[in-house]
Structure 1
Amino acid sequence: MSAIDKLPPLREVIAEHGLSAKKQLGQNFLLDLNLTAKIARAAGDLSGCDVLEVGPGPGGLTRGLLAEGARHVLAVEKDARCLPALAEIADAYPGRLTVLNADALEIDPLDHIPAPYKVVANLPYNVGTELLVRWLTPAAWPPAWESLTLMFQKEVAERIVAQPGSKAYGRLAILAQWRCEARIVMTLPPEAFTPPPKVHSSVVRITALPEPRFPADAATLSRVVAAGFNQRRKMLRASLRGVAPNIEDKLAAAGIAPTARAEEISLEKFCALAREVAKD
């Protein structure tokens, strides 16, 4: 018996259903149910909440979410091999788990779960960053989700919370911090997973703010930031030349030295520059 419910330990579940992790699906299973419950708790009070989980695998985090009181979990799993194990969890928690055999990149969660919802996931490594960028760049703000509690490779997590002047600071930090609070809440060693990845992993808690920290057009800000960091070793007057023909004037108006590099520029200054660029 596991520590959080009456279902079998995950090692037994994996053995019974032949669920060896597939590298091509970015799978690394977290088998310690006390850890999965801890990740669920990092998402805050789940009672009365609907939760979207991507890549549940054999269901360790799914069980943590349900044990911690989530009203309903929508688990999106691409690997059909995992469906029988997830069905057993659904039977143990009647009416509280819906399993969708689908690619998370190809569905709209709002077709299956009402807003607002929380996203809690040990994301498959091969799609984690792409999913995060999508969640951070919806057509309208505030988004349908209220918080994202996500497992990433530690290096990706550090990029999300990075500050100006650090090597990790870049587009992901700007996207996350412009309209959200982001912090690392937990770091796990490779041996916590089966199979163990080559790197440490970290859980990041991202909470949506009601509105952006600084005014800027989202598309313009994204374009400016992408251009600046795509050539991060270059001075901004060079890397942003394609953004506006009079980019040095725009930089000056935003209070940014043309000789500065992207990694030196604060979120507030990037927003000021986006506003200047949008005037044309």
Structure 2
Amino acid sequence: MSAFDGLPPLREVIRTHGLAAKKSLGQNFLLDLNLTARIARIPGDLSGASVLEVGPGPGGLTRGLLAEGAGRVLAIEKDARCLPALAEVAAAYPGRLEVIEGDALEVDALAHLAPPIHVVANLPYNVGTELLTRWLSPPEWPPYWASLTLMFQQEVAERIVAQPGGKAYGRLAVLAQWRCEARIALRLPPEAFTPPPKVSSAVVHLRPLPEPRWPADPDVLSSVVGMAFNQRRKMLRSSLKGLGGDVEALLAAAGIAPTERAEQVAIEQFAALARGVAARTSS
């Protein structure tokens, strides 16, 4: 890809700009431009599309997205050291890359891009889960994003796509799969990164469904699921005591045995439970 866009290899970019990865920022740079190109292709055809990238670092994935035809890329980077390298990418793709120095948790992407937006990011490990939770919990659904293609530690990725009955199944799985198609699209070993992290990584791809698989108030569902998994080793009749009233009756109405634990409950049952809680509250 370096020959395609006229830009130097990423190792040279990092050396030129002194971009040693910072542990405090959760940085692990992916330097293989073939891999970044593979990730950029996961969302599908990006021709003319708007893309939000979080934590572009030296710009490897950014270059992949632009080479795949993204019409506009908004890259949010907290590390000011990376800005000169990203400016070089912007110069190679005039008018197609906007770089904002800032915290992705505080930047309003909709002030810079018009939906639908594809979110593609090698997320900094220290903010990845919080960003995902926000993207899964917008004020309105369908959301402003057309897809999420996100790099996580493999353990987090497994939690997003987990099925009931296992230790990985939890709040993230319920929130993601309740109204998205979620899959692991690519797995990467530690040695693919500089510096190598202690764990493997994986890219998760999520596409929003037109509406949730089962009806439920999203805030009530999030609260109930959070309460259930906060004490996942306890039986639900105990972990959900905070709901007040006759918890066992609520569980029974949702088709859930009060002696079950959260990891045994399907998303459809959690949705039914959330509806029961909401109906009791409104009556």
TM bracket (short chain)? over 0.9
Are 1:261 and 2:282 an aligned pair? no
Q: Distance in 2 between matches of 1:241 and 1:69?
A: 52
- Counterpart secondary structure, 1:107: coil
Q: Which runs of 4+ in 1 moved over 2 A?
A: 1-5
Structure 1 length-normalised TM: 0.99
CA contact (8 A) 1:244 1:277 kept: no
| Partner residue in 1 for 2:133 | 133
1:4 CA displacement: 4.4
AA partner of residue 237 (structure 1): R
Matching residue's letter, 2:244: A
Whether 1:157 aligns to 2:157 is yes
Asked if the contact 1:3/1:33 (under 8 Å) is kept, the reply is: no
- Other-structure match for 2:242: 242
Q: CA deviation at 1:245?
A: 1.5
**Aligned counterpart, 2:200:** 200
Classify the secondary structure of the residue corresponding to 1:203: strand
Tell me, in whole angstroms, the C-alpha distance in 1 between the residues paired with 2:165 and 2:4: 43
Deviations 1:72-97, CA, capped at 9 Å, x for gaps: 10000000100000000000000100
- For residues 84 and 209 of structure 2, the distance between their equivalents in structure 1, rounded to whole angstroms, comes to 38
The count of aligned residue pairs is 280
Give the Cα separation in 1 of the matches to 2:195 and 2:165: 35
The equivalent residue for 1:118 is: 118
Give the CA deviation at 1:48.
1.8
Structure 1 Cα separation of the partners of residues 3 and 170 of structure 2: 40
Distance 2:212 2:3 in 1: 41
Given that 1:4 and 1:34 are in contact with CA atoms closer than 8 Å, whether structure 2 keeps it comes out as no
TM-score, normalisation: structure 2 = 0.98
- 1:185: which partner in 2? 185
Residue identity opposite 2:147 in structure 1: S
Q: Does residue 1:84 correspond to 2:57, yes or no?
A: no
Contact 1:56 1:76 (8 Å CA) reproduced = yes
1:252 is displaced (CA, Å) by 0.6
- Aligned equivalents of 1:231, 1:154: Cα separation in 2: 23
What's the CA shift string for 1:89-124, capped at 9, x where partnerless? 000000100000110001111011111100000000
| Structure 1 residues 1-280: aligned runs within 5 Å | 2=2, 4-280=4-280
1:194-228, Cα deviation, whole Å (9 max, x unpaired): 00000000000000111000000011101110010
How far off its partner does 1:163 sit? 0.1
Residue aligned with 1:256, SS: coil
Note if contact 1:252-1:258 (Cα within 8 Å) is conserved in structure 2: yes
Contact 1:185 1:203 in 2 (8 A): yes
Give the Cα–Cα distance (whole angstroms) in 2 for the partners of residues 70 and 218 of structure 1. Answer: 32
Separation in structure 2 between the aligned mates of residue 174 and residue 107 of structure 1, nearest angstrom: 26
Gaps of 5+ in 1: none
Offset of 1:3 from its aligned partner?
5.5
SS at match of 1:105: coil
- Aligned letter for 2:234? K
